[in-house]
Amino acid sequence: MSTLFIFPGQGAQYCGMGKDLYENYDLAREVYDRASDVLGFDIVDLSFNDPRDELNLTRFTQPALLTHHIACLEVFRELNGGKVEPHMTAGHSLGEYSALVAAGYLDFDSALRVVQKRGELMGAHGQGEMSAFPIDLETIRPIAEAHHCAVAGYNLPEQTVVGGRSSDLELVEAYVGENFPRRTATRLRTEGAFHTYYMVAAALYFRAMLDDTEFTPTETGVLSNFSGGFHYRDPASIRARLFFQLFHPVRWFNNLETAFGEGVGKIYEFGGGIGSGGPDEKRPNLQGMIKRAQRATGHKVEYVAAINAATLEAASLSLIHISEPTRPKR
């Protein structure tokens, strides 16, 4: 049975994120302390206390979430003695960088530097806003484009994210409200219209950072948000796809279709969380989409949350050894 490790993107961050891991696992403390050294600021204080109300600023959100992803991943590996490793990995938007770390393509220090710069540029050069529509891609795309907006994410057959100037998005939302009265849009909390043409300026500056970053592909497959399929095992191609990812839609449903087509039978989600309360009360960010993707495709998988100390311990108790898979072809 093939195993997929997944990592959520922005929106999964919360104050207190990782505190339970830091207090209970030496390895998690090492991950967080290392991140603080690399980033040049106290990621522990930011993530656990957010004293200056900065955690939701994308320049801080991105390294904070990546650190939490990797802390969860490393604790999971420690708890199960390295018995379970992914046959493929995927991440939603920012989460793609954690997927590259998990697969061994990118080292943790480099990933921190890359997403720190990515967040800074997206915050500095980003404009616009984003809304999620419970409408299929082919229906919403012409409506969005008629109002100078663009598709930013294809999450599910009936969930598409659109980005654009706030006043333009309001026109799209009004049109949908009038013509699809039961399809209410949800405005997202972002600093810009990510994964649309509004991010071109940020991407042009970001390219230099990607060009200076070393990628070392392994046998583990990593799914690309830009293509919807697997990354090629070519560093230049990986850099190019991460560059394009910044101003093209996240093809998350295509990523899941690709994984399902490769016969994935078990999915572990690492890091982040949604809902109220502390770390032990959070819900996984991507679980709902995984359930709906299964219904849409008819493919069945076992889903396991690994987003806090409680779920990591539960996941580790239930583990069995998984034999070496046949790797997906590129």
Q: Is 248 a catalytic residue?
A: no
pLDDT in tens, the chain (330 residues): 899 999 999 999 999 999 999 999 999 999 999 999 999 999 999 999 999 999 999 999 999 999 999 999 999 999 999 889 999 999 999 999 999 999 999 999 999 999 999 999 999 998 999 999 999 999 999 999 999 999 999 999 999 999 999 999 999 999 999 999 889 999 998 899 999 999 999 999 999 999 999 999 999 999 999 999 999 999 999 999 999 999 999 999 999 999 999 999 999 999 999 999 999 999 999 999 999 999 999 999 999 999 999 999 999 887 644 444 444 444
Q: Is 69 a catalytic residue?
A: no
Contact (Cβ atoms closer than 8 angstroms) between residue 4 and residue 87: yes
Contact (Cβ atoms closer than 8 angstroms) between residue 223 and residue 89: yes
Tens of pLDDT, residues 171-190 = 999 999 999 988 999 999 88
Superfamily for 129-187? Answer: Malonyl-CoA ACP transacylase, ACP-binding (3.30.70.250)
pLDDT of residue 1: 81
pTM of the model: 0.95
Neighbouring-strand partners of residue 6: 90, 269
Question: Which candidate in 195, 224, 227, 248 is catalytic?
Answer: 195
Written as one letter, the residue type at 96 is: E
Task: Say how many C-beta atoms besides its own lie within 10 A of residue 207's C-beta.
Answer: 15
pLDDT of residue 326: 45
**Matching CATH topology for 2-125+197-317 and 129-187?**
no
pLDDT of residue 290: 98
Question: Which candidate in 93, 110, 131, 316 is catalytic?
Answer: 93
- Secondary structure E strands in 158-247: 159-164, 186-187, 221-222
The token pair that represents 187 in the structure block: 């405005």
* Spans of all domains in the chain: 2-125+197-317, 129-187
Q: How far separated are the first and last CA of the chain, in Å rounded? A: 20
pLDDT of residue 234: 97
The C-alpha angle 159, 162, 163, rounded to 5 degrees, equals: 155
List of residues 6+ apart from 141 with CB closer than 8 A:
151, 160
CATH number of 2-125+197-317: 3.40.366.10
List of residues 6+ apart from 174 with CB closer than 8 A:
none
